[in-house]
Amino acid sequence: MLNEKPHASAAPAPQKKKQSLISAAFDYLEIFVYSAVIIILLFTFFTRLTSVVGPSMQDTLFENEKLLITDIGYKPKHGDIIVYHELGYYNEPIVKRVIATEGQVVDIDFSTWTLTVDGEVIEEDYRKVDNGYLVTSDHNFPVTVPENCIFVLGDNRNHSSDSRDSKMGQNGFIDTRQILGKVIIRLFPFDRFGPVR
């Protein structure tokens, strides 16, 4: 009869379970670290977070909503909602809607609330006007948007300081170098999470 060699004793089950738990913990830690690095890089180089201040964009955006914006490859165009920094007028980022870009002609008929850009009437389903009147302007319309500038308006027209006010930006026009980015998504509140238009 052949002599049977004794089998090497297997590691006790509790020790295997402990090693498995440690391995799983390291896997989760690695996923967490990679995710944190990606989020930090995303917010440092590609996007930024900002808050809505004031009522000027109601009912599209409301005070204290959190927005994700980006300026990567961004070129302003009509209808975009942007965030810009107004030098010397406000200390916080300002959220407005782009109405026209350089070279375009803007006209506002304050008796009918009609907005035209380059002679074309702009349908504004987002516009909010209350109290039966529209805050007017110290500009003589029509106006032509200067080079490297944009003309912006708040959606809540009676409660918005915007390009109708010659004290804003450069005689009411916003220098494109002041643009921090285009709004791409509303992050908070969660029940309004999603793209903004």
Same-domain check for residues 164 and 94 = yes
80 belongs to a structural domain = yes
Query: What's the number of domains the chain is made of?
Result: 2
Residues 123 and 147 in one domain: yes
Q: Are residues 147 and 60 in the same domain?
A: yes
Parent domain of 109: 52-192
Residue from 23, 75, 77, 96 carrying the catalytic annotation = 96
Whether residue 163 is predicted with pLDDT greater than 60 in this model: the reply is yes
Indicate whether 88 belongs to any domain.
yes
Residues 160 and 187 in one domain: yes
Confidence of residue 21 (pLDDT cuts 50, 70, 90): confident
Scored b (16 or more CB within 10 A) or e, 150-165 reads bbbbbbbbeebbbbbb
Q: pLDDT, tens digit, for every residue of 66-90?
A: 999 998 889 999 999 999 987 665 6
Q: Is 56 a catalytic residue?
A: yes
Which of 5, 17, 20, 56 is the catalytic position? Answer: 56
Which tens digits make up the pLDDT trace of 23-63?
778 788 888 877 777 666 566 656 788 999 999 999 999 99
